[in-house]
């Protein structure tokens, strides 16, 4: 058979090809569940960490101390974002590692608990045999494939609860019905990455907590992978009632690094390392910390928390692509018809700040000409607050100011 020679396209075909081939500049990105671009503030935080916090966080010299302080601040920011405490946060390389750590911990905890129970004469907890894990049939591969591996290797039994074909959710009763005396973990994602359906985690948690009160049975641990939910809906680990919650930075405009929330790691909730080494992350996840990426994750968590507090009514007026800003300066507008900057400040109980330069205070309540010159719309500039911190400003001060502003905004909106 002779190879066919490809004839050049006709003029009509050429026109169709050109019209059907989108130009790059007109392409629109709509794959944010896969990954998101970095916020400009996050890029700046990463760059600053690479320049100023390059030292080993375990070292005592200045660069090392700076790196450790950066990591500690980021840990606080991540914890506040998910409603936990700083000691509840373990930094990981990403969501895959965090999810693997949870399933590894559940199996190891079952093994140790069963061994301890067998050594206590007359104790019956019905937890013999293999550990049993419950998950759904729509989980991310970083849960699904780990569960399949444990099952294949004879290390665990796994039940894959199917989602409802009517609601696309995991039904609470189906999860509870799947529980066995040897169930050690229930792992259900908070929101599905393909359908966007939110799973009933609080309801599952309430039922499991009731069962865990029975002294004769092994404690069932609850994990949720919140990768797709963070940055899109409110996520509070305490409200959800989970023992573990997975955080993935690149799903909400942060870097490709992750964290695992553990409700009291090693005390209230078991956590066992998969790696062994230098003892970083309190021995739960050893390895020299990736300071710059952790700094970026902490920054995006701080921004997310700020926006959550003010219900997306906030606009940062200091952020311009390609421009660095002073680390102590934040010009921000809280959007709303009754939220002019001067009015907000005059009603704050704690915050002492200004709407612009003190030497321009005779301009009355008019929007800052500087902001207008920088392209900030007049209605946004009218609500601007200039916040600048100094050497004496603490993290507690910043938290108090955020709460003061939140309460002031609430009162002003109620008045109108």
- Reading across the β-sheet that carries 244-248, which strands appear in turn? 89-92, 258-262, 244-248, 221-225, 183-187, 132-136, 157-161
Strand 244-248 and strand 258-262: the pairing is: antiparallel
Question: Whole-angstrom Cα distance, residue 388 to residue 327?
Answer: 9
For residue 359, indicate whether it is catalytic. yes
CB 246 within 8 A of CB 187: no
Is residue 89 within a helix (H) or strand (E), and if so which, with residue range? strand 89-92
* Sequence-ordered alpha helix ranges (H) in 186-277: 201-212, 237-240
Question: Whole-angstrom Cα distance, residue 278 to residue 308?
Answer: 37
Question: Whole-angstrom Cα distance, residue 215 to residue 170?
Answer: 27
> Considering 330, 348, 359, 374, which one is annotated as catalytic?
359
Measured on CA atoms in the order 179, 181, 182, 185, is the torsion positive or negative? Answer: positive
Could you count the other beta carbons within 10 Å of the beta carbon of residue 155?
Answer: 17
Question: Whole-angstrom Cα distance, residue 27 to residue 234?
Answer: 31
Question: Whole-angstrom Cα distance, residue 36 to residue 42?
Answer: 12
Cα R_g (the chain), whole angstroms:
26
Question: Whole-angstrom Cα distance, residue 285 to residue 73?
Answer: 18
Task: Specify the 3-state DSSP secondary structure of 91.
Answer: strand
Question: Whole-angstrom Cα distance, residue 342 to residue 75?
Answer: 34
Structure tokens, 291:
């300071």
Question: Whole-angstrom Cα distance, residue 300 to residue 249?
Answer: 8
DSSP-derived secondary structure for 138-177 = T--HHHHHHHHHHHHTTS-EEEEEPPPTTTSSPPHHHHHH
Could you count the other beta carbons within 10 Å of the beta carbon of residue 338?
Answer: 13
The catalytic residues are 359
């Amino acid at each position: 058979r002779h190879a066919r020679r490809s004839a050049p396209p006709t003029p009509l075909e050429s026109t169709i090809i050109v019209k059907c081939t989108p130009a790059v500049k007109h392409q629109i990105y709509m794959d944010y569940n896969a990954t998101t671009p970095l916020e400009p503030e996050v890029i700046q935080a990463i760059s600053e960490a690479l320049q100023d916090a390059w030292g080993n966080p375990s070292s005592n010299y200045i660069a090392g101390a700076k790196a450790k302080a950066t990591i500690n601040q980021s840990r606080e920011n991540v914890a506040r974002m998910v409603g936990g405490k700083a000691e509840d946060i373990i930094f990981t390389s990403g969501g895959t590692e965090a999810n693997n750590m949870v399933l590894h911990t559940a199996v190891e905890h079952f093994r140790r608990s069963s061994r301890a129970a067998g050594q206590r004469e007359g104790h019956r907890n019905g937890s013999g045999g293999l550990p049993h894990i419950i998950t759904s049939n729509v989980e991310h591969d970083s849960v699904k494939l780990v569960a399949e591996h444990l099952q294949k290797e004879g290390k665990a039994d796994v039940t894959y609860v199917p989602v409802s074909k009517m609601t696309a959710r995991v039904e609470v009763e189906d999860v509870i019905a799947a529980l066995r005396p040897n169930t050690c973990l229930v792992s259900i994602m908070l929101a599905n990455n393909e359908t966007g359906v939110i799973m009933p985690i609080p309801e599952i948690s309430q039922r499991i907590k009731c069962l865990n009160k029975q002294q004769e049975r092994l404690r069932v641990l609850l994990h949720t992978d919140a990768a797709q939910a963070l940055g899109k809906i409110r996520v509070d680990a305490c409200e959800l009632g989970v023992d573990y919650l997975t955080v993935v930075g690149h799903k909400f405009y942060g870097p490709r690094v992750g964290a695992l929330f553990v409700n009291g790691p090693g005390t209230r909730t078991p956590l066992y390392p998969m790696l062994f080494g230098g003892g970083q992350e309190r021995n739960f996840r050893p390895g020299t910390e990736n300071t710059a990426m952790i700094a970026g994750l902490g920054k995006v968590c701080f921004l997310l928390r700020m926006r959550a507090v003010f219900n997306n009514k906030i606009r940062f007026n200091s952020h311009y692509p390609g421009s660095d800003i002073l680390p102590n300066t934040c010009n921000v507008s809280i959007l709303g018809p009754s939220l002019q900057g001067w009015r907000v400040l005059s009603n704050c109980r704690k915050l002492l700040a200004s709407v612009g330069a003190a030497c321009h205070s005779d301009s009355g309540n008019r929007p800052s000409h500087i902001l207008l010159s920088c392209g900030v719309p007049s209605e946004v500039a009218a609500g601007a607050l200039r916040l600048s911190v100094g050497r004496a400003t603490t993290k507690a001060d910043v938290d108090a100011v955020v709460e003061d502003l939140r309460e002031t905004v609430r009162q002003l909106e109620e008045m109108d």
